[in-house]
Amino acid sequence: MEIELVKCECCGLREDCTRDYISSVKANFDGKWFCGLCSEAVKDERSRLRRKDVQGVVEEAIRAHMSFCRRTMSNPAVRVADGMRQMLRRRSGDLSKPSTVTASPKRFGRAAAGTSQVSLF
């Protein structure tokens, strides 16, 4: 089994992968290789576009995600976090309001007087 270093055509992340895996990813994305996060984001975009009956769904999904990656900051950690946040928002089905988490007062060492709201997005 031969391992190759391959670079994501979207975010630039480099990974060591087998040739078979590289070939299977490229087969799904019109000959382009994407890292795991970018390939999931493109799949998510592709499923969203299919609901709109867009011609050339794969190409349009790739363009949309690559555009998103170009717009984000140059720091790869920020891009990964933004990509995950965008996917989670889309999957939750509600982009209009930020999600909140109710923090347990006991867990954070606060008195049991009440709870606080923390915005995730």
- Number of structural domains (the chain) is 1
The total number of residues written for the chain in this structure? 121
How confident is the model over 33-71, as pLDDT tens digits? 999 889 999 989 888 887 776 668 888 888 888 888 777
Largest distance between two CA atoms of the chain: 60
**Domain encompassing residue 46:** 3-119
What is residue 33's predicted lDDT score, i.e. its pLDDT? Answer: 92
Under 8 Å between Cβ of 1 and 18: yes
How confident is the model over 7-20, as pLDDT tens digits? 998 888 889 999 99
More confident call, 79 vs 121 = 79
